[in-house]
Homo-oligomer: A and B are copies of this chain.
């Protein structure tokens, strides 16, 4: 399976976004348009969610080769609230068991007029690979790809920051934790870099720091206490326990002491700093419970923004494909 690393794989012949596989190559204007539409779909807690019929007549298939209830439900609700039909395929079972190739599964769904395929996979390369083969009216949305890309997460992180801070230009943003294995970090880095934050810092134990070829422009720290000083945004990453040993921290408590986002450490950030986490959290490992539930936390807003961002992406992609249908 080869991966076309060119961001052009996700655009149609007229340069419009047709798939969303990576935030790489999206302009600040494009990101801003997606955030604006997402903001249009945001509702207050306690209000009914936004609804329209942007996807009426469309069929969305969720193909999760790597299970994730929260992301699947977020995409499912986004699609339902835009009037789409939604089918869920648990790819652990059935076809894969029978030895059907992934591409044949995709062709099958495409033949059934499923026109937006939402895919999550633990391995790299599948979304871009598939995108090269699907019919012109079929769109691939990457819902999480190995350590590489999670574009709707990057967008929801950017939307959450914009809601709290307004302008990206003066911001110092810290992403902390297992950077090397994190698709969340990579998509956030792409979003914040393109949107032009003043400084992007990444902080990780040496064994969890990515190579120099990645995260261009980011300032690197292996000391969380230095990294957090004065930042406006603190984004904690989920730690995989098995990787802590790679970071020479054999247990939760030692990781928390060395790299956890604690109330004590938050005092070193800018007083108005916000705290983010992509979820699900390991409480009192990468983030202290009191911080996660504290006044600086915007973690619930991230979840709410997740549905709004996915609605915006779905509606945008469907509109771009529709305009090709109409004018060709």
Contact = CB atoms under 8 A, between A and B. Distances in A.
Interface of A: 43, 45-49, 51, 57-59, 61, 67-70, 73-74, 76-77, 80-81, 85, 87, 89-90, 93-95, 97-101, 104-105, 107-115, 135-137, 279-283, 300-301, 303-304, 306-307, 325
A300 B107 contact: yes
Contact of A76 (B87, B90, B93, B300): B87
Contacts of A90: 69
Nearest to A325: B46
Contacts of A57: 48-49, 51
Given A45-B137, A283-B101, A301 B112 contact: no
A80 B88 CA distance: 13
A196 B109 CA distance: 32
Nearest to A114: B77
23 contacts: A45-B110, A45-B111, A47-B113, A49-B113, A67-B94, A69-B89, A70-B94, A70-B105, A73-B87, A73-B89, A73-B112, A77-B112, A95-B280, A100-B281, A104-B280, A104-B283, A107-B303, A108-B279, A108-B280, A111-B303, A112-B303, A112-B304, A113-B307
Contacts of A135: 45-46
Given A104-B281, A307-B112, A69 B48 contact: no
Contacts of A115: 48
Contact of A95 (B70, B81, B283): B70
Contact of A69 (B94, B99, B279, B306): B94
Contacts of A58: 48
A162 to B, nearest CB: 17
Task: Say what secondary structure dominates the interface of chain A.
Answer: mixed
A16 B98 CA distance: 37
A100 B204 CA distance: 23
A111 B67 contact: no
Contacts of A110: 45, 300
A99 B68 CA distance: 13
Given A85-B81, A107-B300, A136-B46, A74 B279 contact: no
B281 A109 contact: no
A112 B282 contact: no
Given A89-B69, A303-B108, A307-B113, A282 B46 contact: no
A15 to B, nearest CB: 20
Contacts of A70: 94-95, 105, 108
Nearest to A280: B100
Nearest to A45: B135
A38 to B, nearest CB: 14
Contacts of A51: 57
A111 B304 contact: yes
In the complex, which of the residues A45, A73, A90, A135 has the most CB atoms of chain B within 10 Å of its own CB atom? A73
Given A67-B93, A73-B89, 4 more contacts: A49-B112, A77-B112, A107-B303, A113-B304
